Amino acid sequence: MTAEERRNLHAFRDYVIKTLDPAYILSYMAPWFKDDEVQYIQAEKNNKGTMEAASLFLKCLLELQEEGWFRGFLDALGHAGYSGLYEAIESWNFQKMESLEEYRLLLKRLQPEFKTTVNPNDILPKISECLISQECEEIIQICSNKGLMAGAEKMVECLLRSDKENWPKTLKLALETEESKFSQLWIVDKGNVELKVLEDEEIETSEVQIFYKEEPECQNLSQDPCPPSVASTCTPLKPRNYQLELALPAKEGKNTIICAPTGCGKTFVALLICEHHLKKFPQGQKGKIVFFAIQIPVYEQQNSVFSKYFERLGYKVAGISGATSENISVEQIVENNDIIVLTPQILVNCLRNGTIPSLSVFTLMIFDECHNTSKHHPYNMIMFNYLDQKLGGSSDPLPQVVGLTASVGIGDAKNTMEAMEYICKLCASLDTSVIATVKDNLEELEEIVYKPQKFFRKVESRTTDRFKCIISQLMRETESLAKNIFDELGTITLENVSQIQNRNFGTQKYEQWIVSVQKACMVFQLPNKDEESRICKALFLYTSHLRKYNDALIINEHARMKDALDYLKDFFTDVRAAGFDEIEQHLTYRFEEKLQELESISMDLSNENPKLKDLSFILQEEYHLNPESRTILFVKTRALVDALKKWIEENSELSFLKPGILTGRGKTNHNTGMTLPAQKCALDAFRTDGDKKILIATSVADEGIDIAQCNLVILYEYVGNVIRMIQTRGRGRARGSKCFLLTSNADVIKKEKLNIYKEKIMNDSILSLQMWNEAVFKEKVLQIQIQEKNIRDSQEKVELVPDKENKKLLCRKCKAFACYTADIRVVEECHYTVVGDAFTKCFVSKLHPKPKSFGHFEKRAKIFCARRNCGHDWGIHVKYKTFEIPVIKIESFVVEDIATGAQKLYAKWKDFPFEKIPFGMGDLERRNEPQWVVMARFYQHVSVT
């Protein structure tokens, strides 16, 4: 930096101080600021305010002598979203920012009225482009925690600091859209500003209105990619050379896999490709792009990125996920937008039902995390459709295909030749002829992307484990009781029962055995149906208890005995609240006999888990070196997520970390996953809340989630294939990042080291393939595609023909009769209810612990099997529009063929090929009774616990 630039920055310091919140860029300035300086600036903000902190930040900045700090400061502004300040400093022209001063003065005068009349939640989505993303998240958080007035006050504070030239007009449009009373005070008519004093009777709370006169718009849009109304706000980020290198083959129209490390800006590369693609079409033609993201948090993230980038350029962007698809027309969204961000199953469904007739409606498809394109993954289902069109001789044009990944993987390959074959198959699946990696600008890439240091920590397990001994004894007793049931049957036996011996308690393998036995039990049949019901119910209970004991041993192995015991105590509390028959009473009695001893053992400090000691040491050491560290702790199961969260919160030396959690949305082993809003809230809190220093996550955080500040990744007994290794390692984005693998199993470390070796094989294989002649490579890909299509065609599943024969649904736990398939109706294509009064006698209800509304449904109660001492969960009771109906889940039932007596299990309704009759007007009429009758019947079934 020259002396003149230093003088200029000092001269324009007031603009910087009025605009900048240094908290948002400190993480990007880590290479130049000392830790104590960072802490001092943050303390200044907390104690004196943002402007004082910005003043101190600028003072420290101007005192720096290291090379590159000025460019680092500009880059930090760009990354954080200060596009106006970035542009002003780069050109040393602050005229645009100066022109905003009168609006700031006006907003300060109108602040009291703004606080009382504006709902920040309503207008925030419409003005978010004028604010820093972290400011938006803070406004949402304040609204939630402190109320709307506090949120509005924060919004004013943020707008007063906004460096976006168009924020006055954007605010006006947002206010008018929401029909806010405040819009009467904030009149913006694009152009020069005029102030008008109002009469008292016109409006009592303010004296000033703004008029903003609009300049004539340029009519020749081809001269400028930005529509004139937003041209002044388009300050495009400058792509780095390596990003241009990665984008080049795709910009040339080639189907491409872009393989580059996490954190290098592959999403920005995708934006460059999309922008080039949309602009290349001649007048009268239009491109249409679909961008796929697998994980919902990634979908949300990418939808936001694409919307902000392209809507400023005048293109329409829309997103559809499973959570939003029910209430919108996918066909209209695709037709009316230039870019559509999708979770892939949406398009699979649309291609299957004909809503989207062909992939030819798109001109470009981008697959995020494209290494997933294999087997029956939705990505591959989409590409099956593409390849059928390609190889079937269709004359319809096919879209260009671009894949993004940090690792193409090598499958089970053991050498370079096998790895090249695996990668060729991936290219064939995506119909790509180019693998783009950074070669010419590798030095620049390595300056930007920080590959975390990898550390392996082998720790010892407990030398003695009295808790495991006691639980194992309870499991052996439960197994013995289950075996007695089989002995009663004599020669009649169940598949897999003979394998009950030689199973290791507390392992995933043991759980797999339990699941297989449970499935066999559920469809087990005897001539005497009462005896069948008794035996199936007994085996269901024994195996359920074994499964919970097994879960507790896994928690005990990796967390505290206390957490494992709490898990079991919660389970037995639920058991008491349900049917609680003689078997459950006996099993509960046996557990409670041991409870006092288990409590004593779990409180004994000498039984502390050595793994937790080592994990605590790592965390304390890293936060001592860098108090601002941000950590993601990866674990295998949701139960372990909860256990480690409790451990950190209750540990006086670690509680300052204030852990957040991130798990999947699905339901496994009777544990409900996080809802989408909860996932978003957890991610936002980790990104923006400086107090939330650690995020404990399952594999949902493996791929694509952008947390740039993270500098510490801990894999706690967590290992997978080479793709997972690269993905999880890539969560550590910040300079000086570290990645620890902590395990008591030497085989886990061996597997991870093997993954490192496989990564080298993968990189060597890509280099070899890049040296192939492109025509030769295309021919290789084509031959694989033809071969795979032949295999696919020969194995094509026969379309399931709906079975119109009436069938019974029996309780999966006790085999009690529930209903006939003839009485089942489909509501809004994916929910299943039972019509007729007979079914209401088969279940009992309890008020739902978490009632909520979704779409036309209002969840009110849970329904359970009415048979005495069963109480198996069958589903929920809802209010649908104006009608009270039960909604059942197929995984709670056994399906019995009336004619043959054969029984089957189905995990999903879509796999059950019965005649699915829509819920129609006739069914509505059957329920069209006075509301008091409906409610009386409903509450007759509800028992409040």
Walk across the sheet containing 917-918 and list its strands.
831-834, 824-827, 917-918
DSSP conformational letter for 338: S
CA gap 735, 732 in Å, rounded: 9
Residues 6+ apart with CB under 8 A from 567: 548, 551, 552, 555, 639, 643
CA gap 52, 42 in Å, rounded: 10
Residues 6+ apart with CB under 8 A from 195: 208, 209, 210
Q: Identify whether the C-beta of residue 497 lies closer than 8 Å to the C-beta of residue 517.
A: yes
Phi, psi of 668, deg, nearest 5 = -130, 140
| Beta-strand relationship, 339-342 and 817-820 | unpaired
Summarize the chain as % helix, strand, coil (round to 5). Answer: 55, 15, 35
Q: Is 218 annotated as a binding residue?
A: no
> What per-residue string of b and e applies to 894-917 under the rule 16 or more CB within 10 Å gives b?
bbbeeeeeebebeeebeebebeee
C-alpha distances in Å from residue 621, one per residue of 269, 614, 618, 633, 733: 37, 10, 5, 15, 20
Instruction: Report helix, strand or coil for 883.
Output: strand
Q: Enter the tokens of residue 451.
A: 């590959």
Q: Identify whether the C-beta of residue 356 lies closer than 8 Å to the C-beta of residue 331.
A: yes
Q: Is 274 annotated as a binding residue?
A: no
> What per-residue string of b and e applies to 44-68 under the rule 16 or more CB within 10 Å gives b?
bbeeeebbebbbbbbebbeebeeee
Q: Enter the tokens of residue 381.
A: 């289902």
H helix intervals, 626-734: 638-650, 676-688, 722-729
Q: Is 158 annotated as a binding residue?
A: no
| Beta-strand relationship, 434-436 and 256-259 | parallel
Q: State whether the Cα torsion 591-592-598-602 is positive or negative.
A: positive
C-alpha distances in Å from residue 367, one per residue of 204, 292, 383: 56, 5, 11
How many beta carbons lie within 10 A of that of residue 397, not counting itself?
12
CA gap 73, 63 in Å, rounded: 13
Q: Enter the tokens of residue 888.
A: 């059942």
Residues 6+ apart with CB under 8 A from 670: none
Please state at what angle helix 101-117 crosses helix 148-161, rounded to 10 degrees: 170
Q: Enter the tokens of residue 756.
A: 């490192």
Q: Enter the tokens of residue 814.
A: 């006790």
Q: Identify whether the C-beta of residue 572 lies closer than 8 Å to the C-beta of residue 593.
A: no
Q: State whether the Cα torsion 716-721-727-730 is positive or negative.
A: positive
Q: Which residues pair with 886 in a beta bridge?
A: 877
| Beta-strand relationship, 694-697 and 631-634 | parallel
Q: Identify whether the C-beta of residue 19 lies closer than 8 Å to the C-beta of residue 165.
A: no
Query: Which residue positions form the known binding site for Zn(2+)?
Result: 811, 814, 865, 870
User: Per the annotation, where are the binding residues?
Assistant: 811, 814, 865, 870
